[in-house]
Amino acid sequence: MSEKNREGKRTARERLQEQREMDKARQKRKRGLIVGGSVVAVLAIAAVIGMVVANNNSGGGSGTPAAAPVGATGTNKLVIPTGATDAPSTLTVYEDFRCPACGQFEKTYRDTIHSLQDSGQMKVDYHIVRIIDTNLGGTGSLIAGNAAACAQDQNKFRDFHDVLYENQPPETSDKFAQKPYLLQLAAKVPGLTNPAFTACVNNGTYDAWIKAANADFGKSGYNSTPTVLLNGKSIYADPKNPLTPDKLKQMVAAANKGKKAGTATPTVTPSTSVSPSASASASASG
């Protein structure tokens, strides 16, 4: 064999060997990419699961009831009761302080509700929700709801509740998100504003409680505010059978026939304690 032929065969073998080495290197890189991609995918899935769990656990969903205002009742203490605790009838109201329909309900029925409460015929259980925040954006429903819960700690819920609706802004303005404005409104209620109340409003003490009440409303089967029940039966917003103040009185009278009026009032000792951190925050915010 000539020297030229031997050199040609050697060169061919070298080229084949080089090609094999290149193929091995490509296969190794491919395996590395597959393994690395799998790890990234697993980590990404884990991150998504973590986000879902975190979201589901927010707003009192972790299994631990959110801190509730003084005197709150019901499952996980998500209800603020007003009126005689032994009244024979119960009006249940799901409301949102930004909700214009809730404002209209209050304007129409407030005096009737107060009369029935004060005479011991009916107590009212309030569930405070924040569906307008969800639908329109903003935080006014949440922050006003927290302020109302703070007023409950001072045994001033009903008075402040009425002041909020008397001064309800258009739902699109979200003015209730401004804590100084809520504190300004609170000054209209004699005896409400004090360091404990101010700190409670500024620190969003019951934000998680409002979120938990809102989540509970989502499971109730109702989807709008106000939702109004008398002794467990929905009585409002039926166009075929519209409610009126006189009709509400008649319905309560019929339900209470033969029953004694309530006389027991909820015992709520106003809270005056302020933690050092809350006091500092209140001072900074005020």
Instruction: Give residue-wise pLDDT tens across range 135-177.
Output: 999 999 999 999 999 999 999 999 999 999 999 999 899 999 9
- CA neighbor of 183 nearest in space, from 163, 155, 208, 210: 163
| Helix residue ranges per DSSP H, 170-244 | 179-186, 195-202, 207-218
The β-bridge relationship of strands 122-128 and 80-82 is antiparallel
106-123 pLDDT per residue, tens: 999 999 999 999 999 999
- Per-residue pLDDT tens over the stretch 226-259: 999 999 999 998 889 899 999 999 999 999 999 9
Structure tokens at 67: 């801190």
Instruction: Establish how many alpha carbons lie within 13 A of residue 224's alpha carbon, considering only the half-sphere containing its beta carbon.
Output: 7
SS3 assignment, position 72: coil
Greatest alpha-carbon pair distance for the chain in Å reads 126
DSSP-derived letter for residue 156 is -
Q: Which of these, 208, 184, 205, 187, lies nearest to 196 by C-alpha position?
A: 205
Entry pTM: 0.74
